[in-house]
Amino acid sequence: MKISRLEFIRNAASAFGLGAFGAGRMFAAPSGWKPRGNPNLTVGVISDTHLRTNHRGDAPGKEWPLTYLYAALRLFRSENVDAVIHLGDFADMGQTIEMQFHADAWQSVFPGNRAPDGHKVEKLFVVGNHDIVGGHYGGSGGFVKRIAPDPDVRVKRLLVGDLAGNWERIWGERYEPVWHRSLKGYHFFGWQWNVPEAEAEKLVKENAAALAGTRPFFLLSHVIPRKATREGLRSFRNAVSFFGHWHQSIADWRTVVFDRFPLIQCGGCTPRGGYYAPISGVGRVPLTGRSVAGKARYCMVMRLYDDMMTLSRHEVGKGGKLGADWVMPFGKYSPHPFSREEMRKAIGTPLFAPGARLKVENGPDAVSLFIPRADGNLPTRAYAYDVVVTGADKAKPLVMSVFATGGNLSPGREPNAGVTRVDIPVAKIPSGDTLEFAVTPVTSLGTRGVALSL
């Protein structure tokens, strides 16, 4: 199916109302770009599971349960995946037993590496810094040293004591610093933590003939490929990178970066859960605090069709999808559908529902402002709110931005029914007998809705 670039941009802004990607939505496929039939390949994507033992070192720690790893694997099983990508940091303290927890969970959900219908589920795994440098995180100075003070015993507890041998024993496959796998005609390249990326780049270029065309191939690593690597592979326009490490909420559309090719971060599935990443503001000013965002644990499911790739984003703590699927049609586009400029066109406008009202309560030390969930356009959820409080001096308002409560969780599963409470110290309130509060919903890409005032 061919469309003009003008049709592509116009449809990207309107085909699904306000776009089909993101914290709600990130990229809208043109009209008609909907999956037809079954996907050619379905892949689960997970990262940063960070399992840790108790202080005896013989079982999962109380605050590090296996609950969320099992939830993600069972989700993948229900989606009938052909493979699972893990982007590293399996073992929080680099212990062999922590990796074994993963293998036991894997065999429980995919016994014999098989799905319920009998097809093989491939493991596309790379290790992260917590796996490889366990001696730094847990062995040399603290956690593992307390468990195993004898250096000879301690080295046996750590994956790096015999990484290749431990990997083969636990996972039943050879450990490779860099590797290339082909599944149903789709190519995957992985490189382990602390391996020179030039080795991965070389491996990709050695397979250039097999990678020609518009069908995507995938680069898997714990951290985002370095600029030099992205530059070295710039001629491969159909490359797609997946990485982890940062634990950032995948409700934040900035987890997709376009630099030579798309680079997609998979949010962490750490047992303790993550909030929003403490990054710069998306509105007028830096975001204040983390609000009551709600802890989250993430994974993705990628489906590959003849003409498109879709990504569904899941939160496996409270459950549910984070919004409509992200969609990337295949082909040569300029600008690329995942470029920031195209995402801003498609992200849509967050809106308060008709009849929504702000609420203010006075306290002895602070004024509490209650902001209703901006669900008037639910597919495009607010990531943050710009708050402006104006008193007698109209030229000197108080201006701040706060995270939207629960915006990193699935719609309808936010704490406090998605109401965001902002406590403003009395000392910061502008002077005057009358105050005006104005709150504007903002997406993570900075697109703004209509203010609600009181």
Distances (CA, A) of 267 to 26, 63, 140, 381: 16, 19, 28, 18
The rounded distance, in Å, linking the Cα atoms of 57 and 95 is: 9
Sole residue written with tokens 């797609």: 240
Whole-angstrom Cα distance, residue 134 to residue 279?
27
Residue 292's pLDDT is what? Answer: 57
> Where in the sequence of the chain do the CATH 3.60.21.10 domains occur?
5-346
* Predicted local confidence at residue 18, as pLDDT: 26
- pLDDT at res. 381: 83
| pLDDT given for residue 336 in this prediction | 85
E strand or H helix that includes residue 259: strand 256-259
Kindly tell me the sign of the dihedral angle through the C-alpha atoms of 423, 428, 430, 432: positive
The conformational region for residue 417 under phi > 0 = left, psi -120 to 50 = alpha, else beta, is left
CA torsion sign, 345 to 347 to 348 to 349?
Answer: negative
Q: What is the pLDDT of residues 217-263, one digit of tens each?
A: 999 999 999 999 999 999 998 999 999 998 888 988 889 999 999 99
User: What element of type H or E holds 343?
Assistant: helix 340-346
DSSP string over 381-440: --SEEEEEEE-S-TTS-EEEEEEPTTTTS-TT--GGGGPEEEEEEGGGSPPSS--EEEEE
Under DSSP, the state recorded for 321 is B
Quickly list DSSP for 43-93: EEEE----B-B-TTSSSB-TTS-SHHHHHHHHHHHHTT-SEEEE-S--BTT
CB 231 within 8 A of CB 259: no
CATH 2.60.40.10 boundaries in the chain? 359-453
In total, the chain counts a number of residues equal to 454
pLDDT of residue 57: 93
Cα–Cα distance measured from residue 262 to residue 255, given in angstroms and rounded to the nearest whole number: 10
Say whether the peptide bond before residue 335 is cis (omega within 30 degrees of 0): yes
Domain 359-453: CATH superfamily, name plus number: Immunoglobulins (2.60.40.10)
Compute the C-alpha angle 339/340/344, nearest 5°.
120
Residue 385: CB atoms within 10 Å: 28
User: Contact 363/396 with Cβ under 8 angstroms?
Assistant: no
CB contact set of 144 (below 8 Å; sequence gap of 6+): 57, 93, 94, 95, 134, 138, 154, 157, 158
The SS3 assignment for 227 reads helix
Task: Give me the amino acid identity at 297.
Answer: R
* CATH number listed for the domain at residues 5-346: 3.60.21.10
- To the nearest whole number, what is the mean pLDDT of the chain? 86
The total of other beta-carbon atoms located within 10 Å of residue 111's CB is 10
pLDDT at residue number 84: 99
| Residue ranges in the chain whose pLDDT is less than 70 | 1-33, 134-141, 275-293
Rounded to 5°, the CA angle 365-383-21 comes to: 170
Quick: pLDDT tens for 180-203: 999 999 999 999 998 999 999 999
pLDDT at site 4:
37
Burial-class residue 428 by CB neighbours within 10 Å (0-12, 13-18, 19+). exposed
Specify the residue for token string 């840790």.
52
- What DSSP letter does each residue of 139-169 carry, written as one string? ISSSHHHHH--SHHHHHHHBGGGSHHHHHHH
What would the two tokens of residue 272 be? 């303790």
Q: Among 266, 269, 259, which residue's Cα sits nearest to residue 243?
A: 266
